[in-house]
Structure 1
Amino acid sequence: MSKKVLMVVTNHTEIDAENKTGLWLEEFAVPYNIFKEKGYDIKVTSIKGGRVELDPNSIPEENPAEWEEAQEKLTNTTQLSNEDANQFDAVFLPGGHGTMFDFPDSETLLHVLQEQAENDKVIGAVCHGPAGLVNVTYKDGSPLVQGKQVTAFTDSEEEEMQLVEKMPFLLESTLRLKGADFTSKDNWADYAVRDGKLVTGQNPQSSASAANKVVEALEA
């Protein structure tokens, strides 16, 4: 039986009138290909379903040919539903600034991730993808990230992007407030951590590292 992986992506498309956003392509395409190469059964969903827009800054001048299949999956995604809970060996959350707006308050995503955690299954997220973790709790009310080693897009990286004032919250600071043992490397360094069944990556450069640690957790 091949492992089953649920990938959940953002549908949010703008930070403000001047700044478009969406899914960060590398953070989806690279993990997608890694999971595919392992022979995993992958389901791609989004918060609202339908076409998923990419952050314009994440679209390379020359699109790698090996990313084409992954991009095709974004043209008409299935809407995430409560029925997706407990159906997958791993749930993976790619980033993009869009996740800061629609991941934290999605009751469906919170339910799917709570069930995933309660059943001791793998959860992975990269860059801004951990925005989906900030409001997840176990059924006893304790935060999912409490006492766990995690990383994510750092406050320092957000400052370098000059988007601090435009974010609904700062991801690193909020994860720390939820009790996470937050660790990171220098801005834009490739860095991912695995704490048991929870895997997180710092930034786009960490996409492959995060996906590989999800594989490590699944194969353990």
Structure 2
Amino acid sequence: MGRILFVYTSCSKSLTGSGTGWYLPEAAHPYYEADTLREVLAQHHTIDFAAPNGPNPPVDENSVQMFKDDESQQFLKDETVTKKFAESKKLSEVDSSQYDAVFYVGGHGPVIDLASDPVNIKLANEFWRSGKITSAVCHGPAALVGVTDEAGNSVFKGRSATCFTNEEEVQVDGVKIIPFLVEDKIKSLGGKFDKTEPWGVKVCVDGKLITGQNPASAKGVGEAIHAAL
């Protein structure tokens, strides 16, 4: 039986004061991929939620308005999901030894809080250095930029990885609302950056590191996590 930790941002405001948070389909699509398999495979996976500030991390309202697909809308109404959000742990309360994988949900928020949060960096280091699945989608890989192995090498050094691309960031006018471009940061840390066309599906799996490019790639990241487990 696998246990997966979904980590969300607690940031609700961008650098310019516009609303942000975690991005709805980037949680909903992997979750229901997991949920379907959990039912079919007799409770094969357990999913817990966590965020820097704990319960009820803020959703990006723009994503709620943009994504009306069944999974996204069900995620907002699902009583089990609502309970998980209400009971979300603070990152400082998480025991990484209780989990087999960590998954960072995207949204612009992680670039602002998780990327520089020492509690998150310590937690993600524990997952990575224990040889556990370390995964993220879209802006979620920003949460891993401070993660290193025992020798001090970045989790991205020499590994294939992807994230929300610079081109996509320009298209959503997001460059000014975050402290750095995630694509640039991954490259600067020695990552072998890979991508497809803007808004296309791209998932990179390099050992225990699993990353997805954008919202359309979230389900694929979920599938890759299950394959790895």
What TM-score do you get using the length of structure 2 for normalisation? 0.89
Is the counterpart of residue 210 in structure 1 residue 228 in structure 2?
no
Identity %: 32
1:142 aligns with 2:142: no
| Structure 2 match to 1:54 | 59
What is the correspondence of 1:180-199 to structure 2 with a 5 Å cutoff?
180-199=191-210
Instruction: Report the more deviating stretch, 109-118 or 177-186.
Output: 109-118
Which of 159, 162, 166 pairs up with 1:155? Answer: 166
Out of 193-202 and 110-119, give the one that drifted further.
110-119
RMSD: 1.7
Matched residue, 2:6: 7
Could you report, residue by residue, the CA deviation over 1:133-156 in whole angstroms, capped at 9, with x for unpaired residues? 111111221111110100000011
User: Alpha-carbon deviations, 1:112-136, whole Å to 9, x = none?
Assistant: 2111111111011000000011111
* Cα deviations by residue, 1:37-83 (Å, 9 ceiling, x for unpaired): 22211111111112211111100475735323265133452211264
Q: 1:79-106 CA deviation, whole Å, 9 max, x = no partner?
A: 1126422221110001000111111112
SS at match of 1:205: helix
Question: Does residue 182 of structure 2 align to residue 171 of structure 1?
Answer: yes
1:31-42 correspondence runs (5 A): 31-39=30-38, 40-42=45-47
The equivalent residue for 2:41 is none
The Cα offsets for residues 9-33 of structure 1, whole Å up to 9 and x where unpaired, read as: 0010011455200010110111111
Structure with the largest fraction of helix: 2
- For structure 1, the 5+ residue unaligned runs are none
Aligned-partner Cα distance in 1 for 2:146–2:56: 26
Structure 1 equivalent of residue 124 of structure 2: 113
Aligned to 1:122: 133
Within 2, Cα distance between the matches of 1:83 and 1:103? 15
Q: What is the match of residue 45 of structure 1?
A: 50
Take 1:95 and 1:16, find their aligned partners in 2: how far apart are those partners? 16
- For residues 21 and 168 of structure 1, the distance between their equivalents in structure 2, rounded to whole angstroms, comes to 14
* C-alpha distance in 1 between matches for 2:116 and 2:184: 18
Distance 2:32 2:154 in 1: 31
Tell me what 1:29 maps to.
Answer: 28
Dislocated runs of 4+, deviation >4 Å: none
Task: Report the Cα distance in structure 2 between the residues aligned to 1:8 and 1:87, rounded to whole angstroms.
Answer: 14
Consecutive unaligned residues in structure 2, runs of 5 or more: 39-44
Q: Which moved more, 1:26-35 or 1:88-97?
A: 26-35
Q: Is the Cα–Cα contact under 8 Å of residues 138 and 215 in structure 2 kept in the other structure? A: yes
TM-score by length of 1: 0.92
How big is each residue's C-alpha offset from its partner over 1:165-187, in whole Å with a ceiling of 9 and x where there is no partner?
A: 22200100000000000000011
